[in-house]
Structure 1
Amino acid sequence: MSTYLTASDLSRALAVRDLSDAAQGPHAMQALLDATIDALARAWGSRVRVVRNSPLVAVADNYDKLGYDPADVTRDARYTRYVSPTTMLRSHTTADIPDTLRRYAGTTAEVDDLIVVPGLVYRRDVVDRIHVGEPHQVDLWRLRSRPDTGDRDVRDLVAHVVRAVLPGAGWRTTPARHPYTALGRQVDVRLGADWLELAECGLIAEHVLAGAGLDPARWSGTALGMGLDRALMLRKGIPDIRYLRSGNPRVAEQLRDLSPWRPVSALPPIRRDLSVVVADDTDDETLGDTVRKVLHDRVDDIESVLVAARTPWAELSEKARDRLGIVPGQTNAVVRLVLRPLSRTLTDEEANELRNQVYLAIHAGPRLELA
């Protein structure tokens, strides 16, 4: 995989519509975001500061100034969309926080601001019903010109967010580590019998404040990051993330407000199991990103690409090694491909064409098995 995005890949990424931005057309995601912002602003009386910047950010803002270790695996090009040695497509909206905090340096007036940073983030991720390569996220940071923000304020933040996103849902927090927070927590909500992750939060870490020129002896606050795609799916009961961008009139009509999802007739899936050769260190996220990159606009015809089994070279029989042409350092992966467009049924010829495109994209062996 190339270290940097090509010009066409960058252009394609920047052309993805931001569903959280009203300037790009109405969407239910905006109603959910507005409800959350309003709930927090009313509860605290804070001034709301909405930050919308280009998703092209400095690598230093995305990682270094938030406290990520230089050796952190998340920096690897397998997971990060680098544009140059110093610039990248942000992997979280938190990347816009360091620059925003710097704007408060030197302020002498009292501050109690709700900083809202919504927008697209760019990941290399698996292909399934709840993941996309360009998800939406929002950072909700409360910045105060006083040093006494504590765990009670974090719980207050969580309670207001859960009540706004999923009225009546039970919730819990469990310890979590983030390089830019203290007392980090993961927020889970209960829907039926299941606990599902909704957000992550904590106190603003002192090193983040100090790095922005804000004295931790005077400044403090809370921080929360939430995936807006997941939140909207949970709120409306949407079963597949692809519906959020669907042009199907029956679907688009339901994405104008927060009313409960009405099931759309499900088309039958087409399944194909692929036996491919990949490098030992190829993970599911890399496979998913490779499929998205190759299929471009056809990726929405795919419901999921899941690795069902992995067998390293050392565990294969001689007969299997010869058949695959596999060598040490490689693994035989069985990949289950589920094809199911949201608005039509594929013909066998179309399904086999997509199957072959996926196969050729991820297979690194010398022998081909095409449909």
Structure 2
Amino acid sequence: MSISVVTSDSPPQPLSLPALVDALSLRDLTDPTQGPHALQLLVSAAAAALGERWDADVRVLRSRPVVAVEDNYDRLGYQRDAVARDVRYTRYVSDTAMLRSHTSAGVPPALRALAAGPAPGGDVLLVLPGICHRRDSIDRLHTGTPHQLDLWLLRRGGRRLDHDDLHALVTTLVAAVLPGTHWRWTATSHPYTSGGREVEAIHDGHPVEIAECGLAAPDVLRAAGLSPSTWSGLALGMGLDRVLMLRKGIPDIRLLRSADPRVAAQLLDLTPYQPVSGLPPARRDLSVAVPAGSDAELLGDRVREALGPDADLVEEVAVLSTTPYADLPDAARDRLGIRPGQENVLLRLVLRPVDRTLTSEEANVLRDRVYTALHSGE
């Protein structure tokens, strides 16, 4: 059984029922009802610090990851032809519902509830943590199911919130979740903010993106029933997984879900992570024919889908080289069974479970499964 997906610019695409069930069954590490995890400590620290800084009414809002497409895109200012809406990037459940691609999808309902309720006596801090679903490459820092945290500070009347307040918000937040860390920001743009900024933490002398922020866009407020002439706001979205890895010194994002008790026990607090072992990787190179334009993110998604739970055994899928059909010699075209409109991609598959060493036979089986899933040649 599959569920048809229709978007304005893309042909129908199926999201299989098993894939949907798997997505909904995945534990949200930010949710205390699903068990304790260090990510929850980051959420609490952020909410407490910002709530105290502005003496705000802190409202922590949680929801299931299936959301209305309108809340994920339209009511946040995304244009109808935005690339993000493409089925390659979005996990559609139906014509009108999807697995949220960011926790910002919870903001429009939260703003509507704020508009429908009694006028607040002071500032309101909306805290929206949760798991998201998106296309992403496979490596030590990326996952297709990241945890995010949206923080929106809203004010009715009085002095309007401005970029000085936004700077204070980021300063307070970084001090709370990454104590002692230097940071910088650069100008960027988002559909749901004005005067957008990208925030990077400086780690070992290198910038690492941790958040995006800006002033709440007037159109987003207006669409929720909050008059921009009366209301102002600050909007920030943060990647919780990345922040926790920086805070504890965790080298591999897969460790955040590890069932190894030596690892899991260390994910209940914010103390530095102590490596449990240095297991050797198994590397396999694959030469495959794929549709032209297939990038590491798209290939990573196909590997995750093909391997299912075994995808956690993959440390990285790296694109070593890409050769268009026209640049291949005839012998290579025949060997690959490649066709016009395709390209030859040389991939390096790095296999390394976090708790054991794979046998050569196990690695070869995984390599063959990945090859079957990716190779589109005849």
> What TM-score, normalized by structure 2, do the two folds share?
0.95
Separation in structure 1 between the aligned mates of residue 14 and residue 112 of structure 2, nearest angstrom: 28
1:123 to 1:109, Cα distance in 2 relative to 1, 3 A: closer
The residue number in structure 1 matching 2:54 is 44
* Counterpart mapping for 1:223-238 below 5 A: 223-238=235-250
**Cα deviation per residue 1:57-78 (whole Å; 9 max; x = unaligned)?**
1101100110111111111111
The residue number in structure 2 matching 1:138 is 149
The residue number in structure 1 matching 2:7 is none
The residue number in structure 1 matching 2:181 is 169
The residue number in structure 1 matching 2:233 is 221
Separation in structure 1 between the aligned mates of residue 265 and residue 106 of structure 2, nearest angstrom: 33
The residue number in structure 2 matching 1:70 is 80
1:124 aligned onto 2:167? no
Quick one: which amino acid aligns to residue 301 of structure 1?
A: L
Quick one: which amino acid aligns to residue 140 of structure 2?
A: R
The residue number in structure 2 matching 1:360 is 372
The residue number in structure 2 matching 1:304 is 316
Equivalent pairs, count: 366
1:90 aligned onto 2:100? yes
Quick one: which amino acid aligns to residue 37 of structure 1?
A: A
Question: Shift in Å at residue 108 of structure 1?
Answer: 3.7
SS of the aligned residue for 2:15 comes to: coil
1:39 to 1:109, Cα distance in 2 relative to 1, 3 A: closer
Separation in structure 2 between the aligned mates of residue 42 and residue 105 of structure 1, nearest angstrom: 23
Question: Shift in Å at residue 286 of structure 1?
Answer: 1.4
SS of the aligned residue for 1:125 comes to: coil
**Cα deviation per residue 1:262-311 (whole Å; 9 max; x = unaligned)?**
12211001101100000002222111111111111111111011111100
**Cα deviation per residue 1:40-63 (whole Å; 9 max; x = unaligned)?**
111111011011111111101100
The residue number in structure 1 matching 2:287 is 275
SS of the aligned residue for 1:207 comes to: helix
Question: Shift in Å at residue 111 of structure 1?
Answer: 3.8
* Counterpart mapping for 1:138-157 below 5 A: 138-146=149-157, 148-157=160-169
Say what the alpha-carbon RMSD is for the aligned residues: 1.2
The residue number in structure 1 matching 2:5 is none
The residue number in structure 1 matching 2:192 is 180
Question: Shift in Å at residue 103 of structure 1?
Answer: 1.3
Quick one: which amino acid aligns to residue 216 of structure 2?
A: I
Taking only the aligned residue pairs, the percentage that are identical comes to 55
Question: Shift in Å at residue 211 of structure 1?
Answer: 0.5
Separation in structure 2 between the aligned mates of residue 109 and residue 340 of structure 1, nearest angstrom: 52
The residue number in structure 2 matching 1:26 is 36
Separation in structure 2 between the aligned mates of residue 51 and residue 122 of structure 1, nearest angstrom: 18
Separation in structure 2 between the aligned mates of residue 9 and residue 316 of structure 1, nearest angstrom: 36
Quick one: which amino acid aligns to residue 195 of structure 1?
A: P
**Cα deviation per residue 1:233-258 (whole Å; 9 max; x = unaligned)?**
01001000010010111101111100
The residue number in structure 2 matching 1:369 is none
The residue number in structure 1 matching 2:21 is 11
Separation in structure 1 between the aligned mates of residue 296 and residue 183 of structure 2, nearest angstrom: 30
Contact 1:4 1:84 in 2 (8 A): no
Question: Shift in Å at residue 182 of structure 1?
Answer: 0.6
Separation in structure 1 between the aligned mates of residue 352 and residue 298 of structure 2, nearest angstrom: 22
1:136 to 1:109, Cα distance in 2 relative to 1, 3 A: closer
> What TM-score, normalized by structure 1, do the two folds share?
0.97
Question: Shift in Å at residue 104 of structure 1?
Answer: 2.1
Separation in structure 2 between the aligned mates of residue 222 and residue 120 of structure 1, nearest angstrom: 22
Quick one: which amino acid aligns to residue 46 of structure 2?
A: T
1:220 to 1:105, Cα distance in 2 relative to 1, 3 A: same
Separation in structure 2 between the aligned mates of residue 135 and residue 317 of structure 1, nearest angstrom: 41
The residue number in structure 2 matching 1:195 is 207
**Unpaired segments ≥5 residues, structure 2:** 1-10
**Unpaired segments ≥5 residues, structure 1:** 367-371
**Cα deviation per residue 1:319-358 (whole Å; 9 max; x = unaligned)?**
2112212111000000110000111111111110000000
Question: Shift in Å at residue 109 of structure 1?
Answer: 4.3
Separation in structure 1 between the aligned mates of residue 272 and residue 138 of structure 2, nearest angstrom: 25
The residue number in structure 1 matching 2:275 is 263
